[in-house]
Amino acid sequence: MTVPILIEREGHRTWLKWHRGRRRASDPAFTGERILEAMRLGASVEVDLVIHAEGGCAILHDLTLERETTGSGKVRDIGATALRELHLRDNDGNPIAEKVRLLEDLCALLAREGIHPDALLQLDFKEDRQALTPEVVESFGASATPIAGSLILSGGDFEAIAMLAAAAPGIATGFDPCYDGALADLQARGNYLDFIREALATAPDAGMIYLDYEIVLAAEDAGVDIIAPIHAAGRRVDAWTIGGTDPLAIAQVERLLRLRVDQITTDDPEGLAEAFRS
């Protein structure tokens, strides 16, 4: 079976990032088993962070609990002990045996079990600067610092990312400028290069720029390569998120590989790796 880590094309490596800790499209999100597997293999893997009632972070995507867990209400209103008792849900909404993990739980697991030197865990912070308190920053630093060299912290509010990163020396950072409506706005205005220049200026310390793959391909359709100026600035590019391995998805990935993106976020890294094995 193909190890779903990267695709090499004409001397350029494009990593396949395990979106929400999934190796296969059928996997539930955020299970410790899959995240640990990815980190042992040397893969790139992503999880999301939202703040809970005690100032720490839960490994969840939504600010509310209903869709992803057996709980209800806002994550911000629930404490650590109660969160750890909630079960995750699978892709059909059914509860599974695995329970919600907090950031400190996941970091402690990885520190204890070991991490491949090439592995990279993306912590995608789903909130903004206004959500940060000194307690949140301190808790993040205490959790992330022991494995900071294997982490990259990302988000859409780079001020928040910089504040959190300062509490975890050695952690890498990334920036996602693709706000709601960005694709339609760019298609209407055609100012793709201005969009990239602004992103690079907003996040001068971000080593990775995360771009909606549809924006990358829309720019190419308009005759603009938005990957090249990011590479020229010494940064890397992640194109998110390819959902499956149908013919359309394969054609889109072919274009992203030709543009030499550095990483592709996918819900089915194993499927993509197998499709491009030859």
pLDDT above 80: residue 2: no
pLDDT at 3: 85
Are 45 and 15 a contacting pair, CB within 8 Å? no
Q: Is residue 163 part of a domain?
A: yes
Q: Is residue 128 part of a domain?
A: yes
Is 256 contained in some domain?
A: yes
Residue 116: both structure tokens together: 């491949």
Q: Does the pLDDT of residue 278 top 70, yes or no?
A: no
Q: How confident is the model at residue 193 (pLDDT cuts 50, 70, 90)?
A: very high
Percent of all residues in the chain with a pLDDT value above 70, rounded to a whole number: 99
pLDDT at res. 236? 98
CA distance 261 to 255: 9
Instruction: Identify which of 150, 156, 90 has the alpha carbon closest to the alpha carbon of residue 127.
Output: 156
With beta carbons less than 8 A apart as the criterion, state whether 209 and 177 touch: yes
Q: Is 42 among the domain residues?
A: yes
Kindly state whether residue 39 falls inside one of the protein's structural domains: yes
pLDDT at 84 over 80: yes
Render pLDDT for 121-141 as a digit per residue (tens, 0 to 9). 999 999 999 999 999 999 999
pLDDT on residue 6: 97
Residue 45 near residue 35 (C-beta atoms within 8 A): yes
Q: What's the CATH number where 56 sits?
A: 3.20.20.190
Expressed as residue numbers, the domain containing 148 is 6-275
> How many domains is the chain built from?
1
* Whole-number pLDDT of residue 136: 98
The overall average pLDDT reported for the chain is 97
Do residues 1 and 24 make contact, with C-beta atoms less than 8 angstroms apart?
Answer: no
Give percent of the chain with pLDDT exceeding 90. Answer: 98
Token output for 99: 């329970």
Q: Considering the domain boundaries, does residue 1 fall inside one?
A: no
Alpha-carbon span 55 to 105, nearest angstrom: 14
Q: What is the pLDDT of residue 235?
A: 98
Residue 170 carries which side chain, given as an amino acid letter? G
Give residue-wise pLDDT tens across range 200-219: 999 999 999 999 999 999 99
How many Cα atoms occupy the beta-carbon half-sphere of 262 within 13 Å?
16
On whether residue 92 sits in a domain, the answer given is yes
What's this model's pTM, rounded to 2 decimal places? 0.97
**pLDDT > 70? residue 267:** yes
